[in-house]
Amino acid sequence: MRRSVYLAAMILVASPGGALAEMDAAKLADAYKAYDMTRNDGKGFSESADSGTLGWGEGDVIQEYAQMWEATEDPYWLAKIAEHFQRIMASASDPDGDGFLSWTTKTYSCAVAHAERLHNVSEAAIEPADQKNMNGEAAAKCTGHAYVIEFHAGPERFRIVDWSTRKVVATDVAYQSGAAITQIPPFRFTISGQPRQGDRFMVRTVAPEPVEFTVHQGMFVYPVAQFIEAAKTRPELRQRFGADAEKFLAFINKHVFEKNEQDWLDMGELGGGYRFQPLITDRYPNRIMPHNQFAALARAWLVLKDVEGAPPLMARRAEQMVRYFHSHLELDKENNAYRWHYWDWIDYGKPGDSGYEDTSHAALSMSLAVEAARRGVIFTDADMTRIANTWLKLMWNHDEEKPMMAAAVDGQKPHEFSPLMARWSELSQWDRKVYDLTLKTFLSKGPEQQARLAPMMLLCAKRAGVKR
């Protein structure tokens, strides 16, 4: 891509007070169009069948199209959303045979092992009985086989047999009580005590398996929901996009909304949210998801809840997820700001929580609040002012020239994130200072980066009510 295309991207006009107030939205949109074509000829990651790639790669691409649509109202961007989602739907499959199409990935699946001593003569024990490896690269080394650790010739040495294939994977290994046994990757075991000849220990492993992730679905379904809403509620768009909107909504109703109902958790007055599936390879089987993970999809239900053809229950589920997040906000009275945890749950009747949410994931939780407030669901303008204060009073480094955000919403971690980080600039609707700091950061970027960041900047300006 020629640099001259990007150099033409940004035109800012100084207001009488000297502040940079206006931008040439048309030229910036053209620059972004040129940038978009450098990503797989404008297809982005929409041809992938891996839900992780679709969520964190394609999700950002298709969301940018939705941002460009809102900022410019150019139907070109609706056409882009439609083209991409056609390909995304085509890659969906039903590997578990439950009658619903979806997308899976092994990237976040775990390797699991269970170890036990068999009916041995000695009291020697193997530990740990259960372990779960959550490191994707390491977990991929798990075979899913069963293994036998046996002292076949005497108590001083042992061998390890892959019992699924009957192949010896380690032989004549010197025994030392409490020493790490690492020959069954990615796991570590110890045998302690004094074994006897003939002692055997069984290790059963489960390899990572394809797992569906609601958060990945939410990342690309949310902008598609915005497409559907526009196509079904604006008469001038129906002829061109109406058929696609009906097709997309029917697909989402069945294969995303109805499917995820299987994992719904009602939390009473607190609200509710989606749970992780009851899979042994899931990191936290059956626990309610972190706020940002159900939030990704909850935003879509907020958009679709009043659209003709959406299930009536969709509005209820959207409200419950919004309420669950809202009910866990902590008020910093001194700064009139909110803090919140990455995760709040109840296990075995006892509440639990993680640390305060990191800036990257919190952008999704915050985005749910933005969508809810814009649609009058639980969050008020007063709430959004407090979240803007989270940005400005807790997270900002208070440097006007080089603004940075802290790495978590409580402001206690290093200032290492740009104001252009993910969706934080959406808060410009409730505090113009967010726009000013975002613009300052935007202007510090080179032409190519400005072209890439155009959707976010243009939307930020529109939300802030800035002339373009």
**408, β-bridge pairs:** 358
Q: Where are the domains of the chain?
A: 3-105+212-464, 111-206
- Which pLDDT does position 187 carry in this prediction? 98
Q: Which of 3-12, 80-89, 102-111, 458-467 has the lowest mean pLDDT?
A: 3-12
Closest CA relative to residue 298, chosen from 361, 215, 378, 357: 215
In this prediction, residues 103-107 reach a mean pLDDT of 93
- d(Cα 99, Cα 29) in Å, to the nearest integer? 41
Answer yes or no: are the C-beta atoms of 368 and 320 closer than 8 Å.
Answer: no
Res. 422 pLDDT band, cuts 50 70 90: confident
% of residues, the chain, pLDDT over 90: 91
- d(Cα 170, Cα 431) in Å, to the nearest integer? 64
- d(Cα 88, Cα 424) in Å, to the nearest integer? 27
pLDDT in tens, 318-372: 999 999 999 999 999 999 999 999 999 999 999 999 999 999 999 999 999 999 9
Listed in sequence order, the residues at least 6 apart from 270 whose beta carbon sits closer than 8 Å to its beta carbon are 323, 324, 327, 328
CA distances from 35 to 58, 196, 219, 448 (A): 15, 68, 21, 8
The mean predicted confidence, pLDDT, of the chain is: 94
The angle formed by the CA atoms of residues 351, 352 and 356, to the nearest 5 degrees, is: 135
Please spell the DSSP secondary structure of 115-182, one letter per residue: EEE-S-SS--EEE-SEEEE--HHHHTT----EEEEE--S-TTEEEEEETTTTEEEEEEEEP-TT-EE-
Residue 159, amino acid: R
In the predicted structure, residue 110 carries a pLDDT above the cut 90: yes
Answer yes or no: are the C-beta atoms of 160 and 78 closer than 8 Å.
Answer: no
In this prediction, residues 91-106 reach a mean pLDDT of 94
pLDDT in tens, 172-219: 999 999 999 999 999 999 999 999 999 999 999 999 999 999 999 999
The sign of the dihedral angle between the CA atoms of 115, 119, 120, 121 is positive
- d(Cα 221, Cα 358) in Å, to the nearest integer? 23
- d(Cα 310, Cα 112) in Å, to the nearest integer? 39
Answer yes or no: are the C-beta atoms of 21 and 4 closer than 8 Å.
Answer: no
% of residues, the chain, pLDDT over 70: 95
If one looks up domain 3-105+212-464 in CATH, what number appears? Answer: 1.50.10.20
This prediction has a pTM of 0.92
426 secondary structure, DSSP code: G
pLDDT in tens, 1-46: 344 444 444 444 333 333 334 578 899 999 999 999 999 999 999 9
Which tokens belong to 359? 């800036």
- Which pLDDT does position 466 carry in this prediction? 84
In terms of Cβ atoms closer than 10 Å to its own Cβ (0-12, 13-18, 19+), residue 30 is middle
Closest CA relative to residue 106, chosen from 142, 130, 155, 76: 142
In this prediction, residues 34-63 reach a mean pLDDT of 97
Greater model confidence, 163 or 95: 163
Res. 442 pLDDT band, cuts 50 70 90: very high
Which tokens belong to 115? 């170890």
Helix-strand-coil percent breakdown of the chain, rounded to 5?
45, 20, 35
In the predicted structure, residue 61 carries a pLDDT above the cut 90: yes
- 321 phi and psi, to 5 degrees? -70, -40
- Which pLDDT does position 5 carry in this prediction? 43
CA 337 vs. chain centroid, Å, equals 24
pLDDT in tens, 281-314: 999 999 999 999 999 999 999 999 999 999 999 9
- d(Cα 165, Cα 161) in Å, to the nearest integer? 8
